[in-house]
Structure 1
Amino acid sequence: MGGIPLILAVPTLLRLRDAVGPIIGANVGPSHMFWQRMDAAAVVRALGPAVHHVHLKDVEYRAEQPALAGVLDNRPFTTPAERAWTFRTVGHGHGAEFWAPFIDALTAVGYDDVVSIENEDPVQDAVEGVTDAARFIKPLLH
């Protein structure tokens, strides 16, 4: 099954599925929804069987920066302390209060496949980040 990164809005992907059929689906990545201020669990519930793949990556915000630079902050990812938001290791931006309902939403729509840990954390070592993410998310999986 193929996937489209869910930078498309839900209504757009659902129109595409209506035109093409269920062969097309979403690669759901909550990190992209975080910085767009979308509700990832609501997106999963709306997509249902259109969820074809899931990438787990987190986002950390710097509270004062979105008011100044917005969510489309184009400052370099190499200077994360100066950005409105930065990709982070799962659990380093949002805690179990986000991730548990997100995993529950996946289960509720019948998604029973891979959740891939995606690591673009500029602050933490890559191996340490993947290890931390796996340790964090494992107890939340069904």
Structure 2
Amino acid sequence: MALTYGAYTACLGDQTLPQALDTLKAAGLTGAEVNVGGFIPSPHCPVDSLLASATAREDYLGVFADKGMVLSGLNTSGNPTSPLPHEGLKHAEDIRKAIELAGLLGVKEIVTMSGTPGTDPTARYPTWVVNPWNGIDMEILDYQWSVVVPFFKEVDALARDNDVKVCLELHPRNLVFNIPSFERLVEETGATNIRVNMDPSHLFWQQMDPIAATKRLGGLIGHVHAKDTKIFPGVAYRGVLDTDFGHVPAEAEGKVPVAYGYWCNAWPQDPAWRFVALGLGHAIAYWTEFLAAIQQADPDMNVNIEHEDAEYGNVEGLTISATNLLAAAAGL
């Protein structure tokens, strides 16, 4: 039994699947997680054709086998409970398809998010309540939970039928974004097949401790994203809840989609924090300790790098993360 080290191929969208697998293998990795829906396109997985054809699925898995790689997860991170129909309805259906496809491919876990409903049944846009000191906010949260709980009861049942774990990323701007909110979801849904995708990067900037969180969750962790965060001096006056972002023009090259007609905004020039290649925010010794906690939770866990460090090219940043992740693993 051993942890499997791989990467999420979203950062290699300009490469074909065989090319992306070669890139991961050259970095010393053995697993690959591919996107199948949600916020971003899925160039490495033709979902509908794979759902429709056993031959297509056999050929697809053959690509991984030929490269000596493991298909270690399907990703459909998005907002499945959004009131925007072109976001919520689509992303919810993407999750259902991902679960069915994972079952057919023999993949045991998918990664997604809880999403964020609006304030009430008439709301047009998602609303993330950050600090509900105002009684009005509790009414919003009560409504949002009334949307998310039934949806994930359905998702959990579908996952159970397909022998798949649905692993939620604890991502801010989602109703489920920290340990207590995840524990509440499990309690209120009675879920058997919902887990956490442990991504330390989002916990770091919220001043949470990923190792302590891992030890608390234990077997409720089903997947890991190896991603780092660095805190910058700007935190002294911005704090971590910062809205000082800028618009990105529609004609801008390289913009990152999040829904039809929407994309990621521009970060402040002097941010409080940002994502960095693994090992550039926290020392390798820290990552060895983190991996030890993951190994204790599940010695067969899939640990996949998610590269989002804008300071480096995709292959360069992925290679830095892989080098540091494997160095940390060697210390176990």
TM-score above 0.5, yes or no: yes
For 1:111 and 1:46, the matched residues in 2 are separated by: 16
For 2:311 and 2:319, the matched residues in 1 are separated by: 14
Question: Does the 8 Å CA contact 2:294/2:301 hold for their aligned counterparts?
Answer: no
For 1:115 and 1:73, the matched residues in 2 are separated by: 30
| 1:13 partnered with 2:182 | yes
For 2:278 and 2:312, the matched residues in 1 are separated by: 11
Aligned with residue 72 of structure 1, among 238, 241, 247: 241
Q: Secondary structure at the match of 1:83?
A: coil
The structure that has the greater radius of gyration is: 2
For 1:36 and 1:119, the matched residues in 2 are separated by: 19
Aligned with residue 24 of structure 1, among 180, 194, 197: 194
Q: Secondary structure at the match of 2:274?
A: strand
> Which region of structure 1 is more displaced relative to structure 2, 27-36 or 76-85?
76-85
1:10-60 deviation per Cα after TM superposition (whole angstroms, max 9, x unaligned)? 122123223322311111110000100000000011111110111111111
Equivalent position of 2:210 in the other structure? 40
Paired residue total: 141
1:41-60 equivalence runs, <5 A: 41-60=211-230
| 1:140 partnered with 2:328 | yes
Q: Highest relative contact order (Cα 8 Å, sep 6+), 1 or 2?
A: 1
Aligned with residue 116 of structure 1, among 296, 299, 304: 304
Query: Shift of the alpha carbon at 1:78?
Result: 4.5
Letter in 1 for 2:320: D
Question: Does the 8 Å CA contact 2:169/2:198 hold for their aligned counterparts?
Answer: yes
Question: Does the 8 Å CA contact 2:226/2:304 hold for their aligned counterparts?
Answer: yes
For 2:310 and 2:213, the matched residues in 1 are separated by: 27
Q: Secondary structure at the match of 1:25?
A: strand
Letter in 2 for 1:57: K
1:84-99 equivalence runs, <5 A: 84-99=272-287
Q: What RMSD in Å do the two structures reach over aligned CA positions?
A: 1.8
1:96-125 deviation per Cα after TM superposition (whole angstroms, max 9, x unaligned)? 232111111101122422111101111111
Query: Shift of the alpha carbon at 1:73?
Result: 2.4
For 1:79 and 1:13, the matched residues in 2 are separated by: 28
1:97-108 equivalence runs, <5 A: 97-108=285-296
Letter in 2 for 1:22: T
Distance change in 2, residues 1:121/1:50 (3 Å): same
